[in-house]
Chains A and B, each alone.
Chain A
């Protein structure tokens, strides 16, 4: 049976780093239940905003991180709300 929790427990973790105004890797493909962690290595703040606003992070200063657990399959496009030329994608299968 499926878990009753609204926030499913992460089965694994995948990291996306932010370096030089770029999400790296720009696209990750992960199984349902994966926790994706974004870490900002830049000297300026960035954030992570899902295009349909399914999730959005506060500003991440240097070395700060934000995590989101992907409980449903789908393609999640996101960008930096401060520097919208920065884009990335999480594909959940």
Chain B
């Protein structure tokens, strides 16, 4: 299947109204709809596309950092709650919710409790999680696995099928090495190989993990050192969508049949790769600047003439 990246200002669905809705910036999330094996996404606040029977949608949220209480967001609980309100108000109710990690800021029990309580309010059939480094660094993931390890392997990796789509949750935030990037590790790669073995190549595959599975910016650790081994196992599939978090901004690229996408944080934005001294939170953000960053965060997929066209929209 050919894929193209298109930029089309006339059909990007961004208008003043959509723009203003997006100013509730920290509550951003992405709703995904699967139609004919092709994923399309839109920011909350846009009209729902018409859906055919058998279609379904799910949501990805990320980097809630419950416990963070500094600039630019001293109420990360409030913005996660707002995100969930938006999910519950979606015209096409999503069936699944995937959180791509950094649920908490310091892996404290009270932080996990808050996340649990809030996400229980999301009206979805099932919730799936992968940990971020903030969820596992203090105890090698014990607290995380106590809560979310049921039915998973290793550090929390797992897979499941939903309406013909194969979902794989990978963990790349444990056994980190000095100077290194995210790591999947030999055990997980072996498991992934076996997990994918029996699947036909026409099965749409959605892979999610916290740290990007493509090299975004190694100097800040924004990549996964052995992601290529995982991608090699995925290339035979006609439609692969890779969802990540960690970098608190939407970035997207396509490589053959693989579409890579990083999601917004529900807590605070981080700088574009290399555009600041460090990847720390962007503080004291003027609203105009914030809008520009949100513009970068808006991505959507549309299907045209049987081809997957990716439209990367910015707000400015």
Which of A8-16, A30-38, A83-91 lies at the interface with chain B? Answer: A83-91
Q: How many A-B residue pairs have CB under 8 A?
A: 62
A-contact 0/1 string along B58-72, CB 8 Å cutoff: 000000000010110
- Among residues of A, the one whose C-beta sits closest to the C-beta of B107 is A59
Q: Which residues of A pack against B, CB within 8 Å?
A: 20-22, 42-45, 47, 49, 51, 58-59, 61-62, 77-79, 81-85, 87
- Among residues of A, the one whose C-beta sits closest to the C-beta of B176 is A84
Cβ B70 vs Cβ A79 within 8 A: no
Q: Counting CB contacts under 8 A, is B200 at the interface?
A: no
Q: How far is the CB of B177 from chain A (nearest CB, A)?
A: 6
Cβ A20 vs Cβ B280 within 8 A: yes
Which DSSP category, helix, strand, loop or mixed, fits chain A's interface?
loop
Residues of A within 8 A of B221 (CB): 83-85
9 additional contacts, CB 8 Å, given A77-B178, A83-B279, A85-B221? Answer: A21-B220, A43-B283, A44-B281, A45-B134, A61-B106, A84-B179, A84-B180, A84-B221, A85-B219
Q: How far is the CA of A58 from the CA of B133 in the complex (A)?
A: 14
Cβ B179 vs Cβ A79 within 8 A: yes
Which DSSP category, helix, strand, loop or mixed, fits chain B's interface?
loop
Q: Counting CB contacts under 8 A, is B255 at the interface?
A: no
Q: Counting CB contacts under 8 A, is B3 at the interface?
A: no
Q: How far is the CB of B259 from chain A (nearest CB, A)?
A: 26
Q: Counting CB contacts under 8 A, is B105 at the interface?
A: yes
Looking at the complex, which one of B106, B176, B278 makes contact with A81 (CB distance below 8 Å)?
B176
Residues of B within 8 A of A61 (CB): 106
- Known A84-B179, A85-B219, A85-B221; contact A21-B279, beta-carbon cutoff 8 A: yes
- Known A45-B106, A59-B138; contact A84-B178, beta-carbon cutoff 8 A: yes
Cβ B176 vs Cβ A20 within 8 A: no
Q: How far is the CA of A25 from the CA of B199 in the complex (A)?
A: 52
Q: Counting CB contacts under 8 A, is B197 at the interface?
A: no
A-contact 0/1 string along B219-249, CB 8 Å cutoff: 1110000000000000000000000000000
